[in-house]
Amino acid sequence: MATTLHNLSDYDFSKVPDASNMCFGIVVSEWNPEITGALLDGTVKTLEKHGTIPENIHIKTVPGSFELVYGAQQMCKNDGFDAVIILGCVIRGETPHFDYICEGVTHGISYLNANQNIPVVFGLLTTNDLQQAKDRSGGRLGNKGDECAIVAIKMAKY
């Protein structure tokens, strides 16, 4: 239940809950495997760093990012999961395909969040080129997978 905000100092925004009793599903896209593999690595390491045991991290692959929505929907049917994380990377090409995939996945995951009983965390990199993707999957701008793991832990049991 939501509480009334009395004093901002009562809230520690940097606190990450203990995840040792949590169970997660991860759906990862096979397109741009160098990038999605690095996202997966970051996600798993961060979940484990916060206590999740390896047996409680369930990973499935899908051929491309467009299939992430279906994969996540199937995972949402599993009663045991506290949250689902999708990981993918779409790199802009010469046609509008990029926009259609990004919009499809964004709308699909939003729909799942509004209509399923567990949160689905959005780990889709949408970049103009490969370098931008590298920068965000363990390069100079961190790893989106780490961020997704923290979000999943914070949103689990919400």
CB of 149 to ligand DLZ, least distance (A): 20
Q: Site residues (CB under 6 A) for ligand DLZ?
A: 29, 31-32, 63-67, 88-91, 93, 97, 101
- 95 labelled as ligand-binding? yes
CB of 104 to ligand DLZ, least distance (A): 8
Is 97 annotated in the active site? yes
- 91 labelled as ligand-binding? yes
Long-range contacts of 14-17 (CB under 8 A, 24+ apart): 16/50, 16/150, 16/153, 16/154, 17/50, 17/153, 17/154, 17/156
Residues 6+ apart with CB under 8 A from 137: 35, 36, 38, 39, 42, 89, 125, 143, 144, 145
Which residues, listed in sequence order, are joined to residue 19 by a DSSP beta bridge?
none
Catalytic choice (6, 50, 58, 97): 97
The binding site for 5-amino-6-(D-ribitylamino)uracil consists of 31, 65-67, 89-91, 122
Catalytic sites, residue numbers: 97
The binding site consists of 31, 65-67, 89-91, 94-95, 122, 136
